[in-house]
Structure 1
Amino acid sequence: MTGSTEKMTGARALIECLYREGVDTIFGYPGGVLLPIYDELYDSNIRHVLVRHEQAAAHAAEGYARATGKTGVCLATSGPGATNLVTGIANAYMDSIPMVAFTGQVPSLMIGNDAFQEANITGITMPITKHNYLVQDARELPRIIKEAFHIASTGRPGPVLVDLPKDITTDEIDFYYPDKVELRGYNPTYHGNIQQIKKAASEIKRSKNPVIYAGGGIISSDAAGELTKLAEKIQAPVTTTLTGMGGFPGDHPLFMGMPGMHGTKYANYAIQESDLLIAVGVRFDDRVTGKLKSFAANAKIIHIDIDPAEISKNIKVDIPIVGDAKWILSHLMKYAEKAQSEEWLKKVEEWKQQYPLHYIGPATGDGIKPQYIIEQIREACEDAIIVTEVGQHQMWAAQYFRYKEPRTFISSGGLGTMGYGFPAAIGAKIGRPDKVVFDVSGDGSFQMNSQEMATAVQENVPVIIVIFNNGYLGMVRQWQELFYERRYSSTCIQNSVDFVKLAEAYGALGIRATKRDEVRPAIEEAIASGRPTLIDFIVECEENVSPMVPAGAAINEILDLERKK
């Protein structure tokens, strides 16, 4: 134990614990059972960001965590406040993001009595948290908080929930903070098996068509440098998943972009024709693999992951290596030699030249293509942090922006949460005030959490919201066009809101662009404004994301929707 004995309430002990964990920002929304905690926050040096909906608190905490590499923290009251966090907690769980969520709870003696604003939040969140706690003794609070932050940030990261009955926050305790955490049964493996690493090196040396397939584990492990060194040493092309964007330099000659349903043709072709797939920090999700039986069918597979539960879960692998990606890649470098890949790299380069990402110009001379907007953002501010909502705009942001550094692309991967991007962008900007932060959004997704304009304005967080306004729920409409004979059932949302007026109503800057030559000036004005800014880009309403692999198809069975036109 550390620190001298001092009597304090549970609420004050909570704040003291957060100090000890290096927490500088909490995203939250108050309520009756949280009043003791908010009273302590009033005099603390921890910044509390008042969101306008608890879901946004969880998303903002996650955006903060993804931009900084630290553990995000959110706080909500009991009952509906706690249940409103659920989507954000599930999102963090699916994408393996470190977060600690604190929820208020009715007093201990009232639990189970259906008291006002009571909800069994530990039961509700059990499947979507790495671990959760209902605090039953205020004296246990420091230990529980120490454990919560440890569990959230170690091994495969993820969200941890701590439920705080009101009496726990008012009871007085002798405060001690533990030096370390000792949890029987929780000992993540960081150091991979050396014999398995040597086996992997032998396969690399024999390989003629190697491909490195890297995911969000590269970001979590801070292993981007090691990944680049390994790829250069063995001369293997690299593809990264949506959540792995920035884990390998987007302008590197060995980079092939994103694989899968909306990945590049050359990344998909390379995976399918590889003889060795080196998978690092990935879980072989369905949006990448397509038809499982056909995925990399002729390749031996090396799978490096810190979570043993992911090994051979979806795809049977030949050489599993359980451990931390950074540690394993650095040791693999010692044994790995260059693959026999000269002809293979020539073939991959030919595919890049033959099948580049492309789009056809606007139907009218001054119309705006969504892909063009992403290109202009890239040219205006290539080191920006790009946060996205979910839908077509998300895929265009992944395809047409070159992410050169980790933690510069933030998006909802596993859960696909509409409404994620704007609050996550607020969190990212608070965590990285030195960076320009864009929220790339659709007109549908933005309306899910548009109330957070009030948060951005009140907290003076100069996030730039870029709306691709096509009047549709674009990705669902695309599927209806391709597979349901253009029967646009409940996907048309045209003329639903004037976004410029909405921004101005909240006190933000609103800009509208309807012509191609207005795109770059709008972006530059937003960057220069230094205040929360919304740009309403009126884009072509039936533009599709291309390429596309239909659901259930192999990833080399690709529709080129632009050329189809």
Structure 2
Amino acid sequence: MLLTGAEIVVECLKEQGVDTVFGYPGGAILNVYDALYKHSDEIRHVLTSHEQGASHAADGYARTTGKVGVCLATSGPGATNIVTGIATAYMDSVPVVAITCNVNVNLLGKDSFQEIDIAGITMPVTKHNFIVKDVNKLADTIRRAFAIAQAGRPGPVLVDIPKDVTGAEAEYEYKVPAPIKRKSDQISEETMQEVIGLIEHSVRPFILVGGGVIRADAADELREFVSKVQAPVADTLMGKGAFDGREDAYTGMVGMHGTKTSNYGITESDLLIAIGTRFSDRVLGNVKAFARHADLVHIDVDAAEVNKNVMCKYSIEGDAKVVLQRLNEKLTQQDHEPWMRHIREMKSRYPMTYNHEVLTGPGVVESIYKATDGDAIICTEVGQNQMWAAQFYKYKEPRQFISSGGLGTMGYGLGAALGAKLGCPDRIVINVAGDGCFRMNMNELATASRYQIPVIEVVVNNHVLGMVRQWQTLFYGERYSATVLSDSVDYVKVAEAMGVDGRRVTTQKEFDEAIQWAINLKKPVLIDCMIDPDDKVWPMVAPGASIADAFSEEDLDN
């Protein structure tokens, strides 16, 4: 049938099963919005307060549902406003398709009004991007964009369409999307046997899991693998929920703010099996000292990550689900009980603790865990709030913890929470924010209010940029340069002005009551939690130090 380019865009979204898109209209993308208007009963459009909020909402939707998130923006500043969201998705391997529209083809390259080379700008932070100058190529390009976003290691893809292409006509024919195949053609059976041999001869094996396990939907295979190897399990920030945080074998997060048990355990191990993790600097600490007694096995879908940050003995390139399935088929039950007993003793010796006498970030997170029975989707901003949310909530399953890991994007969480709630309407969704981060995206409360999206915004308010101040305290002689937020901004009034109910709490008892109130209300809510500006995230590894040198507040006092 003969359709305009804008109508083809909408039909292709429907082909891909897209039911929700996030965006902000403008002149160049008007044709697409006009087409969306005619299909509003099939595709829900969520108008965010800012284009960056739309890109983060698409990201949060993708992370929680496993589907491709979609965001829309117009040319010029509309397109550039989503760049941070695209980069966030790229660093954390999130499948997002961003559709932007540009000036007419004959105006490209002439510094026309609101013209920008968005494909050039986003090239370093997308898996692929396209400029579609021929309406006859539009449908296949959008189909390719969705396929690329999901295949192998997922990531964002941008499609930029000049306005006259959205208005031109072309023949459109419906196509069923081809299934996305799991990458398995590079899996070496010989290497698999070598890895089995290492496992069988190891005395102190350790398993480290990252976000790749979640992206591959490999949690069940991981659980079987852990049981067969009989090894302790640590996770990266992006790996939260890949392995049940309540399990006896779980030791917590690894790295700069990882548990002492995870950091010490990996250092003592003789075999480290890393699955779906890229070994970022926050995980490794001092590279030369990382797992220095261990043979390292790296399982990853992306060959570019192997031997990039740390050298490994063996690598298996392939989808984590497929690799673990094949390993589980070959592996016999192992017995490492003396090692597991040692790990349990370490967990008892180095528990995660905090001051229960006053309201603290850890206390807030632990209260949320109890109030939600560990079933909520927890989104975060970046900094202390993020680390506390990672440390003190026990994540039972994948896609429960939604956070910007690689890019560390302040202002990410509230937009992501909106996307998460719309993608998973039956789940409680809570965004744990610091006051510094909340300032960057508080305008998205208006989006929550407009659509009555019942997200719970918990602001851990210490009136400082907490993580930066922590570094200034420990490493910069307490010179608090530009990190004190000593103003009179009232976040409860801000929330109320945007149509969102708000409460301020100063004690743990008040927060316990407030979080239950917020859950029962089933409306967008803000809780402003007043905590001490000098509260810190413990344990910590100093920059450049070995993870074996993790220290806590008690260590500083000794």
TM-score per shorter chain, which class?
Answer: over 0.9
Question: Structure 1 counterpart of 2:330, which letter?
Answer: Y
> Does 403-412 or 173-182 show the bigger shift?
173-182
2:119 alignment partner in structure 1? 122
Question: Structure 1 counterpart of 2:30, which letter?
Answer: L
Matched, 1:171 2:163: no
Distance in 1 separating the partners of 2:301 and 2:488: 46
Question: Structure 2 counterpart of 1:383, which letter?
Answer: D
Distance in 2 separating the partners of 1:52 and 1:496: 24
- The answer to whether the 8 Å contact 1:155/1:190 transfers is no
Distance in 2 separating the partners of 1:19 and 1:210: 47
- The answer to whether the 8 Å contact 1:155/1:189 transfers is no
Residues 233-280 of structure 1: CA deviation (Å, up to 9, x unaligned): 110110111011000000001001100000000000111111111010
Q: 1:143 aligns with which of 135, 140, 143?
A: 140
2:232 alignment partner in structure 1? 237
Distance in 2 separating the partners of 1:80 and 1:496: 31
1:457 alignment partner in structure 2? 449
Once the two structures are superposed, the pairs formed by residues 522-561 of structure 1 within 5 Å of their partners are: 522-561=514-553
Distance in 1 separating the partners of 2:110 and 2:352: 59
Unaligned segments of structure 1, at least 5 residues: 1-5
Unaligned segments of structure 2, at least 5 residues: none
Distance in 1 separating the partners of 2:314 and 2:465: 42
Distance in 2 separating the partners of 1:190 and 1:281: 17
Question: Structure 1 counterpart of 2:367, which letter?
Answer: Q
Distance 1:562 1:87, change over 3 A: farther
Question: Structure 2 counterpart of 1:307, which letter?
Answer: D
Matched, 1:246 2:262: no
- The answer to whether the 8 Å contact 1:191/1:327 transfers is no
Distance in 2 separating the partners of 1:353 and 1:515: 28
Once the two structures are superposed, the pairs formed by residues 194-343 of structure 1 within 5 Å of their partners are: 194-343=189-338
Residues 440-473 of structure 1: CA deviation (Å, up to 9, x unaligned): 0000000101000111011110000000000000
Distance in 2 separating the partners of 1:188 and 1:36: 38
Q: 1:380 aligns with which of 368, 371, 391?
A: 371
- The answer to whether the 8 Å contact 1:386/1:410 transfers is yes
Distance in 1 separating the partners of 2:551 and 2:475: 13
Residues 524-553 of structure 1: CA deviation (Å, up to 9, x unaligned): 000011110000010122100000000000
Question: Structure 1 counterpart of 2:15, which letter?
Answer: R
Please state how far the C-alpha of 1:300 moved relative to its aligned partner.
Answer: 0.6
Partner SS for 2:440: coil
> Does 77-86 or 553-562 show the bigger shift?
553-562
Once the two structures are superposed, the pairs formed by residues 427-446 of structure 1 within 5 Å of their partners are: 427-446=419-438
2:390 alignment partner in structure 1? 398
Distance in 2 separating the partners of 1:385 and 1:109: 47
Distance in 2 separating the partners of 1:516 and 1:237: 33
Please state how far the C-alpha of 1:360 moved relative to its aligned partner.
Answer: 2.9
- The answer to whether the 8 Å contact 2:356/2:363 transfers is no
Distance in 1 separating the partners of 2:232 and 2:477: 39
- The answer to whether the 8 Å contact 1:142/1:177 transfers is no
- The answer to whether the 8 Å contact 2:284/2:547 transfers is yes
1:51 alignment partner in structure 2? 48
Q: 1:90 aligns with which of 87, 92, 95?
A: 87
Matched, 1:519 2:516: no
- The answer to whether the 8 Å contact 2:182/2:319 transfers is no
2:460 alignment partner in structure 1? 468
Distance in 2 separating the partners of 1:412 and 1:334: 35
Question: Structure 2 counterpart of 1:554, which letter?
Answer: S
Please state how far the C-alpha of 1:346 moved relative to its aligned partner.
Answer: 1.1
1:3 alignment partner in structure 2? none
Distance in 2 separating the partners of 1:383 and 1:180: 33
Question: Structure 2 counterpart of 1:427, which letter?
Answer: G
Partner SS for 1:36: helix
1:418 alignment partner in structure 2? 410
- The answer to whether the 8 Å contact 2:20/2:43 transfers is yes
TM-score (structure 2 length as normaliser) = 0.97
Partner SS for 1:402: coil
Identity of paired residues, percent? 52
- The answer to whether the 8 Å contact 1:147/1:181 transfers is no
2:78 alignment partner in structure 1? 81
Residues 25-73 of structure 1: CA deviation (Å, up to 9, x unaligned): 0000000011111001112120000011111111000000001000000
1:16 alignment partner in structure 2? 11
Partner SS for 1:448: helix
Please state how far the C-alpha of 1:336 moved relative to its aligned partner.
Answer: 1.6
- The answer to whether the 8 Å contact 1:238/1:256 transfers is yes
Output the aligned Cα RMSD. 1.5
Q: 1:479 aligns with which of 471, 475, 500?
A: 471
